[in-house]
Structure 1
């Protein structure tokens, strides 16, 4: 890195970055851009829980924006690599995207991914990414992409943010990150693997948090105030909620839970992407046993479907179950 290269504040204000990223068309490129540029879910949690930064300097940020626009015009290699991975899990999809950027992008580069630590034949854990910046820093990144629904009644606790299927909770995930995952690169077993350090461990936590009917709450101190926000509503609440949110609706498959979706109108018709009115949507999800993510869309100048909001429709008994899970 040249001594005169600027560092510190981002090259572009947030509004300008969003406008540039919204111009991207290929879904995988948009998802990668969202992974790199979206707000973190968490503030830093020192001394252990420090945040990863996709870019070391504003020049790297500018170069990445240019690189993404170029990739958007010819995404075939990215598409082929994702298809070859046969991805079914959202976390694995995010890993593939971030790994691809570290291998091909203009910023930090990948040294190794999914590095297992073992002792006496037992696996202690895996380091998600070992990364070297252009300035020579060696970083250990732990990636997590999460969607949590706020199930609390006025409490300002991470425990009130629960996974839609009630198998995950934000406070437990953060504790696991800080107490187990981030310290892996400082363990004696890691030192024997031959990856010369020292390594700075950082957490790369992205995602969306969803609030009942989209109503504001007071955030726990651990959260980044700029985090991605959505709504959730019970099936009984749905008619009134949908009436206040004009547009067409679409169920979002799990691998479309990263960036806000955009669909060219003609391409959507050719691909059989279905947009529904509010009544048809609730009929579609009525017999599902758990929460379903859906998004509201409108036509932008008649040529492109643009996501306006996203959230979960949950069974009527889900809130009581969620509050019980939050208090376990």
Structure 2
């Protein structure tokens, strides 16, 4: 499956935050686990109508959707997730970003503690949105690195499953929850949508814990990208890494070339969307995603 996810639906929203939220409601995740949280199981059947109403008139929509996007993608993602839980699914959030203290130092944080009204239980949700690029190793294996190569899919998965999702078992957390009159045990949930970017010139092995329907893109080095036809590429800046991109103007080839030069000169990876023009609407729609990285990466 490429980066195009139900684009007919998602591209029907003109407000970026609502388009991003619509993507969040249906995006496949990067971890298959018994504790993976699947919003589609709890969203109301008419949730798309709610999003369309907000898109037509943003004033009655949750205030978080009108705030300027935060610079850090993780914070913006958390904001969208809060709207998803509270305003679409209808679950009260009991705690959010609650730090866990031990002997005066912070030993962790709870992303969300929510009341699952449908199943009548308290849940602890740990969330992340991730983008990983597959690098083939000499032994034939594949390591999946984030654009910041200190981040790795296998390490993040282990941390989520074995540490972050189990923080409510700590004595310090149990005491913290009791202060808010929350008694356990809590049901752990993880939510990690995102993309895997496959190398453009060699095979890569997908981890067995990644669902088959995960979103895919490609990655390549800047010197290889320069040899490609990039006339249909556009630069994707945060927060538009979330959701499918579309625009009414043709791709700006000069802007794309400048971005490729920055990758080489400043050694900073850059995400691009590959576009095509829809003959009916004449809008330009995303059909693929490409991460371009400097020669020194990872």
After TM superposition, the score normalised by the length of structure 1 is 0.78
Aligned to 1:250: 234
Query: Partners in 2 of 1:16 and 1:228 — Cα distance?
Result: 8
What is the match of residue 35 of structure 1?
A: 24
Is 1:217 aligned to 2:199, yes or no? no
Structure 1 residues 135-160: Cα deviation after superposition (integer angstroms, max 9, x where no partner): 21221110011111101247445xx0
Gaps of 5+ in 1: 1-14, 269-273, 323-328
Give the match for residue 261 of structure 1.
Answer: 245
2:296 alignment partner in structure 1: 317
**Secondary structure at 1:24 match in 2:** coil
1:304 is aligned to: 283
Q: Secondary structure at the match of 2:25?
A: helix
Match of residue 288, structure 1, among 252, 255, 266: 266
Q: Give the deviation of 1:83 after TM superposition.
A: 6.1
Alignment of 1:1-80 (within 5 A): 19-44=8-33, 50-57=35-42, 60-76=43-59
Aligned pair 1:161/2:148, yes or no?
A: no
Check conservation: 1:146, 1:208, Cα contact below 8 A.
yes
Residues 101 and 256 (structure 1), Cα distance of their counterparts in 2 relative to 1, 3 Å cut: same
Q: How far apart in 2 are the matches of 1:276 and 1:164?
A: 23
Deviation at 1:201, TM superposition (A): 0.6
Give, in whole Å, the separation in 2 of the partners of 1:109 and 1:53. Answer: 17
Counterparts of 1:279 and 1:84, CA distance in 2: 32
Q: Hey, what's the Cα distance between the residues in 2 that align with 1:162 and 1:54?
A: 27
SS at match of 2:192: strand
- The Cα shift of 1:292 comes to 1.2
Which residue, 116, 123, 127 being the options, matches 1:143? 127
CA contact (8 A) 1:293 1:311 kept: yes
Secondary structure (helix, strand or coil) at the match of 1:287 reads helix
Change (3 A) 1:21 1:97: same
Higher RCO, 1 or 2 (CA under 8 Å, sep at least 6)? 2
Cα 1:264–1:73 change in 2 (3 A) is farther
Distance 1:183 1:85 in 2: 33
Number of positions where the alignment pairs a residue of Structure 1 with one of Structure 2: 287
Check 1:72–1:189 CA distance in 2 against 1; reply closer, same or farther (3 A cut). Answer: same
Q: Is the 8 A contact 1:64 1:107 kept in 2?
A: no
How far does the alpha carbon of each residue in 1:65-84 deviate from its partner, in whole angstroms, 9 at most, with x for none? 22222222223466853565
**1: CA distance between counterparts of 2:58 and 2:182?**
32
Q: SS of 2:18's equivalent? A: helix
Instruction: Give the equivalent residue in structure 1 for 2:216.
Output: 229
Alpha-carbon deviation of 1:190?
2.1
Report the RMSD for the aligned CA atoms in angstroms. Answer: 2.7
